[in-house]
Structure 1
Amino acid sequence: MLSTKQPTAQNNRSYILLICGAAALGGFLFGFDTAVINGAVAALQAHFQANSVLIGLAVSLALLGSAIGAFFAGQISDRFGRVRVMIIASILFTISAIGSGLPFGIWDFIFWRVLGGVAVGAASVIAPAYIAEVSPAHLRGRMGSLQQLAIVVGIFLALLSDYFIAVSAGSATAPFWFGIAAWRWMFWTEIPPAILYGVAALRIPESPRYLVAQGRESEAAAVFAKVDRTIDVRTKIQEIRDTVLRDRTAKFSDLLSRRGGLIPIVWLGMGLSIFQQFVGINVIFYYSSVLWRSVGFNEASSLWITVITSVTNIVTTLVAIAFVDKFGRKPLLVLGSIGMTLTLGAMATVFSNAAVDPAGNPVLAGSQGIIALLAANLYVFCFGFSWGPVVWVLLGEMFNNQIRAVALAACATIQWVANFLVSTTFPPLLESFGLGTAYALYATAAAMSFFFVLFLVKETKGIELEDM
């Protein structure tokens, strides 16, 4: 447990940032784990002499592992606590990182990646839930945005470490430290932050909402006294007591209405999760080399541009952190939807009218290349200040205390399935119909997300979790 010394008002905010930052380390590993394989794909294919189908499975099945981890994380955290799920995820991240660098064949490599995916899924559920439950209402948006900031920083550092390891060794297949192949070190770079995540989890307090649900009200009072000195602790605990299930652990059946089917708020959360993926953001990060090479950049330059794009994502997430509690969640989502529709529409138009080389790749001439590059980075900017961080904020706070963990788990599971669908359908979509059609579909999803938010999403800025 962290220090029990009563903080001043300023130290109180620092303490909140500290414990939320520790929880957000799961988001960092989420981003790092999903991106680190990018630099090793070609080396893995050569090392195992695997065909493209097996390599594709090595990448995509980790996403299904994430869906599995997300599905079970909610109920496990309601039974054993938020912090214990973080510790379990830390152990899985560490084992996966070690195993991914020491595979005997492609199939056990896939197993280690799926295991890491389970950890990613668990972290994607537990971090926003914990952060929402320990943060005061006036800081909850900014603290919740730390999840997305950690994700994009994790992506950036994974890409950067892949690049420097490959450059230092000469290639991903060449020997690096101690004569061990560079691609193995790419996966092992995840071990230190994975261990740090577990150590940090051991040092932070349990969620006070979980503690009240377990009847451990004195412990919950101690946590509230440290994170928010402006509230009446006894009144707050009574409010939570009235809104949690103390006689049993919440189940997925609690998400069903009396008429059958899911309750509306869960449908809303799933809709947010689906649209966050269907606008195609992961295509930009997973397959960006197709775009950059079509503009004329070589492989090394394409990797650097991808790194720069991830920096853009970090900067725009900082914009979201600055404004999410000032402007609210809904305005940022609406603005993001408009921006993504316009930028994706521009990319769809450019690629639909592009010439094609003998190999079938689009060739952008003159202003087309400049427009595509600007539109792609503006698209990342629009996603980065809106749908990237704000969806995680909303998922962490929009559900009531009774169902928060299991509802978030259901929505995160759907999000990972949507990620899997978008990521695996892009290559055949590209081959059969071209980039223009692909970006047109994502632009359509962005336009639909505008109306979804405008008519269905309610503002949650400043509302206490007990009033949701």
Structure 2
Amino acid sequence: MSASPPHDPKQSASVIFVLLISAAAALGGFLFGFDTAVINGAVVALGDYFKVGPVLVGMSVSLALIGSAVGALLSGSVSDRYGRIKPMLLSAFLFTISGVGSGLPITVWDFIFWRFLGGVGIGLASAITPAYIAEISPASLRGSFGSLQQLAIVVGIFVAMLSNYMLVGIAGGSADNVLWLGFETWRWMFWAEVPPALLYGFAALMIPESPRYLIASRREKEAEGILAKVLGEKTLDKIEEIKGSLKIECTPSFAALRCEGGLHPVVWIGLGLSVLQQFVGINVIFYYGSMLWRSVGFSEENSLWITVITGVVNIVTTLVAIVLIDRVGRKPLLLAGSAGMLVTLGVLAYLFGNAPLDATGHPVLQGASATTALYSANLYVFCFGFSWGPVVWVLLGEMFNNRIRASALALGAGAQWVANFMVSASFPSLVSRVGLGITYSIYAFFAALSFFFVLFMVRETKGRELEDME
């Protein structure tokens, strides 16, 4: 019987150190998830309060995503100039004022403004956090630590859905009802974001700067101290390796993404991953889930409870991804997720497309059809949760070389938010014009497309050092 390898306390300490600072950075992901999902429980109440139709309701939900695209596109230049920590602090500030303002709107337009500001914060956090975690983590654990971003996102989504459900329950079953201090329940849904936003700002003040940014800024002594805690030893070799990968004639910028004939091929692959992650329709479940289930016959409170169950499924499957991503690799998880989403979206498209209609023209699911739809929707979330949810963010954080990482990730995240906007803004109109069946068929088509895109275009990055990326 062979002896087990001796325990290395230095290595254990470095893993715990990286885990703690990665978790602190991932609080931005929690706010990302909370902010994008909190609108789910308030969307119907907002339509009633502002007395607007489905188009403006869709815009009030989705225009925040344009702010997210702006924040993501700005993140590359901001993080290259000011580091990774200061943009995190700015993001926390934007989350805070957005949460306060969204609960005190006068018209639908100033509500959209507050949501836009929160969206800028989301965009900054969504691009900077995976880059920071990738740059601070050892290669052997980078996938698992990088998945903390997605875990934080889905926990944020779950907490927002649970918070909405509990607030509506306390208020008597409707987000329109007055809750505390004379304010309606939907206002408190947005104000619940303020405490975690403040916590994120405090956490950002406590974590170290990215060693790769410090070396690029000629602050090698500071970088050496951080790398010593991350790697335990061989810090001088790593510093020289990083310096070698940063030897370029120009500073990192969007111009660095270009090669002869256009964008670098790996940047196009990053853009493809970002867009397809959204075109499979996942955020329709999280933004419009309660409205969707109410439209097919469930009560408001039961609809919110279904979204809570969906949030739990999302968390569990992300934990599965964290366990598997550094063992089986990125590409196999993406392929399995695409296949699963194709099947489950196909089932939903069939059920919604063949359901009987009520007097208002909405499909009504009853009996076995309703049960099958619930199982299919949650299996769809399961398939997304162990694959395209966490893996795309991990790949975006690690697939680019040091020269272009911040700018390429900013471009990819920006494209992701634009795609998210397109899907979210179009959903209410698509449903009213062509129905839920065809709408879900469109998402199923993109799930099929995502399978072949990964099969032929995506390269495995498991176990590779960031300095070895092309």
Report the TM range for the smaller structure's normalisation: over 0.9
Once the two structures are superposed, the pairs formed by residues 128-207 of structure 1 within 5 Å of their partners are: 128-170=130-172, 171-207=174-210
Q: Which residue of 2 aligns with 1:44?
A: 46
Q: Which residue of 1 aligns with 2:397?
A: 396
CA distance 1:444–1:143, change in 2 (3 Å): same
* Stretch moving more, 308-317 or 166-175: 166-175
Partners of 2:69 and 2:123 within 8 A in 1: yes
CA distance 1:79–1:152, change in 2 (3 Å): same
Number of aligned positions between the proteins: 461
- Percent of matched pairs sharing the same residue: 63
Question: In the aligned structure 2, how far is the partner of 1:368 from the partner of 1:191?
Answer: 40
The one of 19, 25, 31 equivalent to 2:27 is: 25
Q: Which residue of 2 aligns with 1:441?
A: 442
| Unpaired stretches in structure 1, ≥5 consecutive residues | 1-5
Partners of 1:294 and 1:364 within 8 A in 2: no
Name the SS for the 1:361 alignment partner: coil
- Which amino acid in structure 2 is aligned with residue 443 of structure 1? A
Name the SS for the 1:358 alignment partner: coil
CA distance 1:316–1:405, change in 2 (3 Å): same
Q: Which residue of 1 aligns with 2:302?
A: 301
* Stretch moving more, 209-218 or 432-441: 432-441
CA shift for structure 1 position 18: 0.6
CA shift for structure 1 position 358: 2.9
Question: In the aligned structure 1, how far is the partner of 2:248 from the partner of 2:228?
Answer: 22
CA shift for structure 1 position 366: 4.5
* Stretch moving more, 397-406 or 51-60: 51-60
CA shift for structure 1 position 103: 2.7
Partners of 2:24 and 2:200 within 8 A in 1: yes
CA shift for structure 1 position 176: 2.8
CA shift for structure 1 position 330: 0.5
CA distance 1:247–1:213, change in 2 (3 Å): farther
Q: Which residue of 1 aligns with 2:318?
A: 317
The one of 214, 219, 227 equivalent to 1:216 is: 219
CA distance 1:175–1:348, change in 2 (3 Å): closer
The one of 32, 45, 66 equivalent to 1:64 is: 66
Residue deviations 1:141-183 (CA, integer Å, cap 9, x gap): 0001011111111111111112222222334333333333332
Question: In the aligned structure 1, how far is the partner of 2:183 from the partner of 2:391?
Answer: 42
CA shift for structure 1 position 287: 2.5
CA distance 1:364–1:322, change in 2 (3 Å): same
Question: In the aligned structure 2, how far is the partner of 1:165 from the partner of 1:377?
Answer: 23
Partners of 2:349 and 2:441 within 8 A in 1: yes
CA shift for structure 1 position 320: 0.1
Q: Which residue of 2 aligns with 1:416?
A: 417
CA shift for structure 1 position 188: 1.4
Name the SS for the 2:245 alignment partner: coil
CA distance 1:365–1:180, change in 2 (3 Å): closer
Partners of 1:256 and 1:262 within 8 A in 2: yes
The CA RMSD measured in Å over matched residues stands at 1.8
Q: Which residue of 1 aligns with 2:254?
A: 252
CA distance 1:34–1:108, change in 2 (3 Å): same
Residue deviations 1:34-55 (CA, integer Å, cap 9, x gap): 1112222333344444454443
Name the SS for the 2:178 alignment partner: coil
Partners of 1:213 and 1:246 within 8 A in 2: no
| Unpaired stretches in structure 2, ≥5 consecutive residues | 1-7
CA shift for structure 1 position 450: 0.8
Partners of 2:55 and 2:428 within 8 A in 1: no
* Stretch moving more, 231-240 or 357-366: 357-366
Normalization by structure 2: what TM-score?
A: 0.94
CA shift for structure 1 position 111: 1.1
- Which amino acid in structure 2 is aligned with residue 355 of structure 1? P
CA distance 1:430–1:45, change in 2 (3 Å): closer
- Which amino acid in structure 2 is aligned with residue 210 of structure 1? Y
CA shift for structure 1 position 227: 1.1
Partners of 1:39 and 1:172 within 8 A in 2: yes
CA distance 1:197–1:247, change in 2 (3 Å): farther
- Which amino acid in structure 2 is aligned with residue 195 of structure 1? L
Question: In the aligned structure 2, how far is the partner of 1:400 from the partner of 1:262?
Answer: 14
Q: Which residue of 1 aligns with 2:121?
A: 119
Question: In the aligned structure 2, how far is the partner of 1:321 from the partner of 1:189?
Answer: 28
- Which amino acid in structure 1 is aligned with residue 394 of structure 2? V
